[in-house]
Structure 1
Amino acid sequence: MKVFVYSARSYDKPALQLAAGGHALQFTEQRLKRDTAQLAAGCEAIVIFTSDDASAPVLDILHSLGVRYILLRSAGYDHVDLKRAAALSIRVANVPEYSPNSVAEQAVAMLMAVNRKLIQGQRLMQLQDFRIDSLQGFDIHGKTVGIIGTGKIGMAFARIMLGFGAKVIAYDLQVNPEAISAGIKYESLEALLRQSDVVSLHCPLTAATRHLMSETQFSWMKPGAILVNTCRGAVINTVDLIKALDSRQLGAACLDVYEFEKGLFFEDHSGDIIHDANFVRLRSFKNVLITAHQGFLTTDAIKEIAETTINNLDCWQNGVPCKNELTVKPGIETDALERKPRIVGSI
């Protein structure tokens, strides 16, 4: 089958080519959007990433070009209008379980770098300023870590925190038996935020989780707590986050995702002026660590993403049910991380 790959990068091209089998892959570094949809002319399938735009108008163009399959190189699917895809009989599948440890380990790495002031310490070292007065952190051992979303990534993060000797509590509208077995207690969102020294977000972006962390929720947090977000940027209200940092209600933030990252992350803007005032403000805080949505970027995860992506296409081509296909039913939303149907509004 002829397949067009959008947002292709040097790190995922080789893995996709190796997994391609008999499929003919064409690549572009350009993002999928209205202006670039025509590039897929003559292809039955496209492969896209989280930075791509698969909204209804774009899907209409793709359908007119003969595209019938959309393969996501991600677990998240909030950039795809699934209802419109279903109406056009365009089938969509994602990669729900690629190395959850990769994202969980990124969250831990960011947490430790911010808590132990590693970035600031390195900058002082380069200046030959060897004072450590401003580099004090706290032990994770014995602290309370709150996890919002106890899917595969959330549980991978929880196991690491338990290994550190932290007390782990969780919030999710669906109880994960694995969490209960690990001794993790579920709390209301407010109770979790009031108790936690560290809060880590691991939920999908849905209508209910958009701006889940806003002004009220920040006011519930323990003064000085650290917030970690490696799921989706829009789970946090960016303006309210800046206010919480500015007032020092929030001790620090670790962000591998950003609410307005589309068109910013995954691109080279080294010669540009960044006009996003919120991003510039966030970047100015010494207690904020931002990475450009790289939590998935390990050799293990890239290999698994490529193999699962091609396997999804093979299933459709061979008439075999695709377990990763995303479907929409009235009142139901599929959680791409868990592959379980959830009532709209759940985490």
Structure 2
Amino acid sequence: MKIAFFSTQPYDKIFFDRLNVSHRFTIDYYETHLGPHIAHTVKNTETVCVFVNDKLNAEVIETLSNNGVKIIALRCAGFNNVDIEAAKRYGIKVCRVPAYSPEAVAEHTVAMLLTMNRKIHKAYNRVREQNFSLNGLLGSNLAGKTVGVIGTGKIGKAFIRIMLGFGCKIWAHDIYPDNSLTEQGVQYVSSEQVLKEADILSLHCPLTPENHYLINRQTINLMKTGVVLLNTSRGGLINTVDIIEGLKTKQIGALCIDVYEQEEKLFFRDLSSNIIQDDNIQRLMSFPNVLITAHQAFFTEEALKEIAEITLENIAKISTEQMDDNSPSMLT
């Protein structure tokens, strides 16, 4: 089988080539993302392998189908960038990696929180300049703080376990409460109550039409003044214009994001010699209480190995019709 692999980074090739030894697929790697601009060139291949910023709308899926593509293999958990209904219409199977090292994302979320809270990034730069003053580096204890968690799937659950270890009180919201978390003292409440009570609010939910711009002017006004907001899920959960306003009014005390709603134009590439045209990301980067990483929460040795392993196994099973339609990996 031949696979057209899009949004390729050097580490993708290393891990997929290593795990492909047993499958022996032919993989053609492309650095460009998959979208309307290049879909027509995908020919003589049964499978496309895509990532978070590839755009597979109805137009792209129709073109892929006409060119003989039978499988869309997402090497990520989220699938908001794929028109699932269009894939069904054209008979294309869509699979994903529903869970890959949830600890990787959870630990990165906590790392961002600790960095921002204790000003580690600022202290590091100061000391390198031989400035050993502590002025402006005051943090606060996490113990005893109320942490609000929206979304308690595998990643949210891993994050909660860590925060319980810090001695935090956890208030959570999910349409499917986890009884094992309740037994550990986690309180499930309404999303509105989570927003109102959290000293620290962390988002761990998929992006759906229902929760697009979950964080907006109205929900920000419900929050405690000075709340710390964390997002390592999907950029579209936050209305960037409204969050900028919340930072300016100091309603938002600090913001840590590993995702951004317009990230496909920025992330996973070196733009150090470019003039960035996105005024919103430039404004966010100007705040001293904003910490941004470029979608790296998943980026661990263990996670990349799992992603490659599960993605290739999904393709192998679908190609031999061994994949159970009820498998969490299958979307169509």
Return the TM-score normalized by structure 2: 0.96
Structure 2 partner of 1:11: 11
Structure 2 partner of 1:325: 330
Structure 2 partner of 1:344: none
Counterpart of 2:69, as a letter, is V
Structure 2 partner of 1:338: none
Alignment of 1:271-290 (within 5 A): 271-290=273-292
What is the aligned counterpart of 1:218 among 217, 220, 225?
220
Q: Aligned to 1:153, what secondary structure does the other structure show? A: helix
1:230 aligns with 2:235: no
Q: Aligned to 2:132, what secondary structure does the other structure show? A: coil
Alignment of 1:140-151 (within 5 A): 140-151=142-153
Alpha-carbon shift at residue 281 of structure 1 (Å): 0.2
Q: Aligned to 1:321, what secondary structure does the other structure show? A: coil
Structure 1 partner of 2:159: 157
Alignment RMSD, CA only?
1.0
Structure 1 partner of 2:196: 194
Q: What CA distance in whole angstroms lies between the structure 1 residues aligned with 2:303 and 2:227?
A: 30
Q: What CA distance in whole angstroms lies between the structure 2 residues aligned with 1:83 and 1:131?
A: 58
Alpha-carbon shift at residue 187 of structure 1 (Å): 1.3
Alpha-carbon shift at residue 14 of structure 1 (Å): 1.7
- Post-superposition CA distance 1:2-55 (Å, at most 9, x none): 111001111121211122212111111111112222442111001000011111
Alignment of 1:268-347 (within 5 A): 268-322=270-324, 323=327, 324-327=329-332
Runs of 4 or more above 6 Å deviation: none
Q: What CA distance in whole angstroms lies between the structure 2 residues aligned with 1:92 and 1:145?
A: 35
Q: What CA distance in whole angstroms lies between the structure 2 residues aligned with 1:119 and 1:286?
A: 11
Aligned-residue identity in percent: 43
Q: Aligned to 2:202, what secondary structure does the other structure show? A: strand
Structure 2: runs of 5+ lacking an equivalent: none
Q: What CA distance in whole angstroms lies between the structure 1 residues aligned with 2:125 and 2:321?
A: 56
Alpha-carbon shift at residue 129 of structure 1 (Å): 2.0
Q: What CA distance in whole angstroms lies between the structure 1 residues aligned with 2:129 and 2:150?
A: 39
Q: What CA distance in whole angstroms lies between the structure 1 residues aligned with 2:184 and 2:59?
A: 46
Q: What CA distance in whole angstroms lies between the structure 2 residues aligned with 1:301 and 1:40?
A: 28
- The question of whether the paired residues in 1 share the 8 Å contact of 2:196 and 2:224 is answered with yes
Q: What CA distance in whole angstroms lies between the structure 1 residues aligned with 2:294 and 2:142?
A: 25
Q: Aligned to 1:12, what secondary structure does the other structure show? A: helix
- Post-superposition CA distance 1:189-231 (Å, at most 9, x none): 2211221110000000001110011111111111111100000
Q: What CA distance in whole angstroms lies between the structure 2 residues aligned with 1:19 and 1:40?
A: 24
Q: Aligned to 1:104, what secondary structure does the other structure show? A: helix
Structure 1 partner of 2:94: 92
Greater mean alpha carbon deviation, residues 3-12 or residues 171-180: 171-180
Q: What CA distance in whole angstroms lies between the structure 1 residues aligned with 2:286 and 2:50?
A: 32
Q: What CA distance in whole angstroms lies between the structure 2 residues aligned with 1:131 and 1:22?
A: 57
Q: Aligned to 1:134, what secondary structure does the other structure show? A: coil
Q: What CA distance in whole angstroms lies between the structure 2 residues aligned with 1:273 and 1:57?
A: 31
- The question of whether the paired residues in 1 share the 8 Å contact of 2:226 and 2:251 is answered with yes
- The question of whether the paired residues in 1 share the 8 Å contact of 2:314 and 2:323 is answered with no
- Post-superposition CA distance 1:255-314 (Å, at most 9, x none): 000011112111221221111111100010110000001111001000000010011111
Structure 1: runs of 5+ lacking an equivalent: 328-347
Counterpart of 1:290, as a letter, is I
Structure 2 partner of 1:35: 37
Alignment of 1:107-122 (within 5 A): 107-122=109-124
Q: Aligned to 1:142, what secondary structure does the other structure show? A: coil
Q: Aligned to 1:253, what secondary structure does the other structure show? A: strand
Greater mean alpha carbon deviation, residues 170-179 or residues 100-109: 170-179
Q: What CA distance in whole angstroms lies between the structure 1 residues aligned with 2:180 and 2:91?
A: 37
Q: What CA distance in whole angstroms lies between the structure 2 residues aligned with 1:35 and 1:207?
A: 25
Alignment of 1:41-190 (within 5 A): 41-190=43-192
Q: Aligned to 1:92, what secondary structure does the other structure show? A: strand
- Aligned pairs, number: 327
Counterpart of 2:7, as a letter, is S
Counterpart of 2:302, as a letter, is D
